[in-house]
Every structure is written in structure tokens, then in C-alpha cells.
Amino acid sequence: VRFTVFDKTDSIGGVWREGYLGFGIQTPKHMYHFPDEPWPKDTPNFPSGKQIQDYMEEYANKHGLSKHFKCSTEVKSITRNKDDTWTLMFKNGPSPQVFHGVVVCTGLYGAPKKPLFANENLFKGNVYHSSQFLDPSMVKGKKVVTIGVGKSGIDLANHSMLNGAESSDIIFRKAHWFVPQKILGLVPFDWATFNRFGGALLHPYHKISTFSSVLHAIFSPIKWLIWRLVEIIFSLQQGLWGLGMKPDTRIELDAFGSGQLETNPSFFKAARQGKIGIHAGVHVREFKENSLVLDNGKEVSADVVFLATGYSPSDMSMLFPQESIESDTDGYYLYRHIVFPNIPNVFFVGALSDTFSNITNSAIQSRWVAEFIKGTHSLPDEGIMRS
């Protein structure tokens, strides 16, 4: 199969090219690698962003993929032709090109989200998105405030403290569950979650047999008790009650949605030791010259503010201006999480779906697309794909 890969950046790697200080994966390496290329044995259990970038480049070179990449080439739009081929328009570089099929691999991280705050223009310090934290000198000797409590939020608060900040505070409206790497310091989290028993404890898939539905109903009280026990274990292990960080959302709903895995070194240990200030259940009312005022009236001194507020996903309606692509409140609905039923010969790999191991998810999707292109399998009719 002849193919070309266009990337608007100057090298492969996506978000792994350049991330915030101390970034890396939160899942152990045995859960985050290409299926045909395990990590070298001497790789640490949680590789850094630089190590992941190197691993991806080595994989591309080993398999002869690098020659197919056209970097520093941004796709502006993709339009369908009468014969269901696709024309790609570019913001820079080459003239329009026509392809029989398109695989969209834009990832989950588009433009950084940067919310605006009242009187932010009065602030004498610096306000950065989390992706801009690249150098220790940005925080050394300064009062640092992080807004947001996802993975990047606890990473930034922690690494600000570790890199010599005078103080490090974190502000957030809603706490989320962070799954310990080892439950009770003994059991690896994946032993307890990624098996049939762990799957049976979750809410059932939306299409299940009558028998499975009955089983879930019968055992729902037991499932509820098990999850409440897990919440108690995590709360005690991480000191959530003392920190005021115990989430209101049930863990079986949050940990597999907005929740994250706890990273190393432990944010919660540093917070319990008083090295990181916790401001939970509040939001920033306004900025002052040298501080942030919270909605509870408290004022937090700051020289540097990091916005750990995530990213906006790529707008597919802009990329495909002539197609009918609408997102529901909880995202896009695709057949096999890959195909829009009404858009032929276009596949979304790692662009609109997420798992604990994105690289594995993308590898499985890629294999499915490759087998489809080879003719190993075919798509059902549109009605079945939408059902």
C-alpha cells in the first residue's frame, strides 16, 4: 500500500516531541509500547517523554517509515470528490493532492485551552499553559500556582516544588480519583483492574445479552460495596480526607473517565508533607497584581501561574468542511471508534478515542484499517454501523 504521512511539526512524535518539564507516561512500560516492539530491558518502568520520543523515532527508522513522512506540512482541509477520492489542501508547501483514502491521526490534543480570568491584565507575573513549562528557571525561587488537577496539574505542582519554587499551590474546582500505581503499596493497579473480574465490576456495555444484564442486576449491590471499599483504600493510602481531595464522583465512574493514574514521585506524599498547598472546591474569582483571589475570599500569592486546563480536540468539521460531522455532548460516535458511517474511505486512528494505553489502542485501530484496505474484511451497511 502506498502512503504518505503529513505532519505540521518538524519531526514525528506528536505531543512527545516537547512536553512540560518532567512529563512522561503514567502507565508502566509493559502497557505502553507497540505490540511488535517491547521496550529494552534497561528502560525504567515509567519512561520519560524524551525516551518515548526516541523509542518512536527508532521504531519508525527500523521499519522504514521515516521516508514516508512529510513534516512541516499542515493540512488545511480535506474534501470529497465525486469518485469518493479525497483532495487535501495545505496551509503551506505542496499544491493540492488527491488520495484514495485518508487516515486521520491528529490525536486528542489540539489547541491548548486558556480560560480568561477577571483582571488578568493587572497581574505582574507570568501566566503559562502547562505545555509551556519547559525550563526549571521558570519557577526557581518563585511563588507558583497551578490551576487544574488532571495529570498535568499534579505534575506541574509537584515539579515546581522539586525545581526550587518558593511555594507551590494548586487550585481546582472538582477533585478526581487518581489510581495508585500499587494498591496498598503492594498490588500493581493493572493486576486488579485489567482482567475479567475488574471488567465485571464496571457498568455493563450498552449492548449486552439479557443473561448478562440479569447477572449485573443481581450482583449490583456487591459491586457497589467493592467500589466503596476501593474508595476507602485509596482515600487512606493517599490521605485524601486530610487534604480535602476526596472526590464526590463515584470511583467506578470517575477513574475510567476523568480520573488518572498517580505519577511518581508522589504528588500526594508531597501534599501531605505540606510542600504543596491545596485549594480544593474553589475557582479563581480574579487576578490581582501579585496574587489570585478565590471565590471563598482567600488570596493566594503568585509570581507564576500555570493553566493545567487541557486541550481542545481538533475540530473535524473544519478539517472536513463539506461533510456533516457533528459532535454529541460526550464526543463523536464512530463505528469501531474509527469510521463515520456517512464518510467513505476516511478512518480516525487515535484521534477521537482514548484508553489507558493510547499507543496500544492506536496500534489495534491501525491493524483494523490496514486489514480493511487489504480487503480482509468489509464494512456493514450504514444502518448497521449507526445502530
**Per-residue pLDDT tens over the stretch 95-129:** 999 999 999 988 877 788 899 999 999 999 999 99
Q: What is the pLDDT of residue 337?
A: 87
pLDDT tens digits for range 38-48: 999 999 988 88
Q: What is the pLDDT of residue 380?
A: 92
d(C-alpha 52, C-alpha 42), whole Å: 14
pLDDT tens digits for range 333-386: 888 889 998 899 999 998 766 666 778 888 899 999 999 999 999 999 988 888
Residue 253: which of 273, 233, 272, 231 has the closest Cα? 231
d(C-alpha 360, C-alpha 363), whole Å: 5
d(C-alpha 387, C-alpha 382), whole Å: 9
Phi, psi of 381, rounded to the nearest 5 degrees: -70, 165
Q: What is the pLDDT of residue 42?
A: 92
Quote the percentage of the chain above a pLDDT of 70.
96
Quote the percentage of the chain above a pLDDT of 90.
57
Give residue 316's pLDDT band: very low, low, confident or very high (50, 70, 90).
Answer: confident
Residue 251: which of 228, 269, 271 has the closest Cα? 228
First-to-last CA distance in the chain?
31
User: Computed from CA positions of residues 107, 111, 112, 114, in that sequence, does the dihedral angle turn out positive or negative?
Assistant: negative
* Residue 337 · residue 353 · CB < 8 Å: yes
Q: Provide the CA 147 distance to its chain's centre, in angstroms.
A: 17
**Following CA atoms 111, 361, 58, 375 in sequence, which dihedral angle do they give, to the nearest 10 degrees?**
-110
Of 58-67, 173-182, 256-265, the poorest mean pLDDT is in 256-265
Work out the average pLDDT over 14-34. 83
Scanning the structure block, which residue is given the C-alpha cell 485501530?
365
Q: Provide DSSP, 18-84.
A: S-STT-B-SS-GGGSSBTTBPPPTTS-SS-BHHHHHHHHHHHHHHTT-GGGEE-S--EEEEEE-TTS
Q: What is the pLDDT of residue 356?
A: 66
d(C-alpha 159, C-alpha 1), whole Å: 45
* Residue 234 · residue 247 · CB < 8 Å: no
Within 10 Å of residue 134's Cβ, how many Cβ atoms?
A: 13
Of 72-76, 96-100, 114-118, 206-210, the poorest mean pLDDT is in 206-210
H or E segment and range at residue 10: none
In degrees, rounded to 5, the angle at the alpha carbon of residue 263 between the alpha carbons of residues 113 and 292 is 45
Q: State the chain's mean pLDDT as an integer.
A: 89
d(C-alpha 62, C-alpha 76), whole Å: 30
Residue 331 is classified by DSSP as: B
Q: What is the pLDDT of residue 387?
A: 78
Residue 280 is classified by DSSP as: E
Residue 177: which of 235, 224, 119, 132 has the closest Cα? 235
Please check the confidence at residue 258 and state whether its pLDDT lies above 60. Answer: no
Parallel, antiparallel or unpaired: strands 291-294 and 299-301: antiparallel
Q: How far is CA 133 from CA 130, 170, 223, 348, in A?
A: 6, 15, 41, 30
Give residue 205's pLDDT band: very low, low, confident or very high (50, 70, 90).
Answer: low
d(C-alpha 250, C-alpha 253), whole Å: 6
* Residue 276 · residue 161 · CB < 8 Å: yes
Q: What is the pLDDT of residue 160?
A: 95
d(C-alpha 177, C-alpha 232), whole Å: 12
Please check the confidence at residue 256 and state whether its pLDDT lies above 80. Answer: no
Between 355 and 234, residue with greater pLDDT: 234
Q: Provide the CA 240 distance to its chain's centre, in angstroms.
A: 23
Scanning the structure block, which residue is given the C-alpha cell 493497579?
189
